[in-house]
Amino acid sequence: MSDCSLGHVVIIGVGLIGGSLARALKAHDAVSQITGVARSQETLDLALQLGVIDNAESDPVQAMNEADMVVLASPVSTMAPILEAITDYIPAHCVVTDAGSVKGSVATAARQALGDKVDCFVPGHPIAGTENAGVAASFAELFVDHRVILTPLAENSETDIQLVQAMWEVCGARVVRMSVEDHDAMLGAASHLPHLLAYSLVDFLSQQDRHEEIFANTAGGFRDFTRIAGSSPVMWRDICLANRGELIPLLKSMEQQLAGYRELLEKSDGEQLEQAFRRAKTARDKLPEVTKVANDE
């Protein structure tokens, strides 16, 4: 990919993901121009000032004019209204994709909003990010060696899928494909559930009478364990609601898992407890080999 072959790219939502994508595409000379769309004028001004985008637009419809590729990088709850707003204005040749952390709700929204134009929409999800939000935190290398999952629809053309794949590969990502259902099941377990656990522990501790003393006695292990609890509450509210079909049974299972550990403690069953910890350690120790590349999130 080179020679501005992606043409005019419109990024709706110029935050950490949208901003980093824009930076990476410009750094690799893969676009003719980038238009950033955001509701906040402050974000747009900052993105222009940082050189992340070439043009700023507050109205997604206005930004559709002459777009070759549209990337929705806004919170998952905003994707339905955005797709509804732009559906009549997407140029004929234009490919639309997204960076949402849940794919089922986005695919459903796309079908409803785009109707028989849904073939232009290739759902995607870069497994990258940090707990810091906003265009100021964006950087061109965010996606290097990170996994991007595309969950193509039956209506998508192979050409369109490959164009989206090429866009992420320009940014250094490793692109894989899976079904919408598999994505939401895998990411529910691998990402959404851990976020819920981290939030729930810190939320629980913060409501204890002696929470200040508890937090004063935490160490590096606690800080690592709870880093993801510093993520955006609005973004994760939306992700959890959008993937609640997967998360409700996962939470139920975790409640049973904790109850099982509690019963082992009640019985002072050290043997079973050690076996459980050993299973976990074995799986954890294998992790760097399994994921191979250094993903951040």
* Binding positions for its own copies, 251-280, rule CB under 8 A: 251-255, 257-259, 261-262, 265-266, 268, 270, 273-274, 276-280
Residues 6+ apart with CB under 8 A from 86: 60, 61, 64, 70
Q: Which of 107, 146, 150, 161 binds its own copies (CB under 8 A)?
A: 146
CB of 270 to its own copies, least distance (A): 5
Element (H, E) at 145: none
Total of chain residues touching its own copies, rule CB under 8 A: 99
| Contacting its own copies within 74-133 (CB under 8 A) | 127-131
Residue closer to its own copies, measured from CB, 49 or 241: 241
Residue closer to its own copies, measured from CB, 66 or 176: 176
| Contacting its own copies within 9-68 (CB under 8 A) | none
Q: What is the Cα–Cα distance from 254 to 248, expressed in whole angstroms?
A: 10
Residue closer to its own copies, measured from CB, 171 or 202: 202
Q: Which of 29, 42, 51, 233 binds its own copies (CB under 8 A)?
A: 233
- The number of angstroms, rounded, from the C-alpha of 224 to the middle of its chain's C-alpha atoms is 20
CB of 272 to its own copies, least distance (A): 9
Q: Which of 106, 147, 172, 175 binds its own copies (CB under 8 A)?
A: 147
Q: Are 184 and 246 in contact (CB under 8 A)?
A: yes
Residue closer to its own copies, measured from CB, 138 or 231: 231
Side-by-side strand order, sheet with 121-122: 55-57, 33-37, 8-12, 69-72, 95-98, 121-122
Residue closer to its own copies, measured from CB, 40 or 265: 265
Residue closer to its own copies, measured from CB, 160 or 246: 246
Give the binding range for its own copies (CB under 8 A) out of 24-32, 55-63, 134-142, 229-237: 229-237
CB of 297 to its own copies, least distance (A): 3
Q: Which of 2, 115, 159, 220 binds its own copies (CB under 8 A)?
A: 220
Alpha helices, DSSP H, located in 101-232: 104-114, 158-170, 180-187, 193-206, 211-216, 220-226
Residue type, 101: S
Angle at 192 between CA 263 and CA 145, to 5 degrees: 125
Q: Which of 59, 88, 112, 234 binds its own copies (CB under 8 A)?
A: 234
Q: Is 1 in the site for its own copies (CB under 8 A)?
A: no
Q: What is the Cα–Cα distance from 121 to 234, expressed in whole angstroms?
A: 25
Q: Are 53 and 11 in contact (CB under 8 A)?
A: yes
126 strand-pairing partners: 148
| Contacting its own copies within 156-215 (CB under 8 A) | 182, 185-187, 189-191, 193-208, 210-215
Structure-token pair, residue 153: 């629809």
Tell me 267's DSSP state.
T
Q: Are 9 and 69 in contact (CB under 8 A)?
A: yes
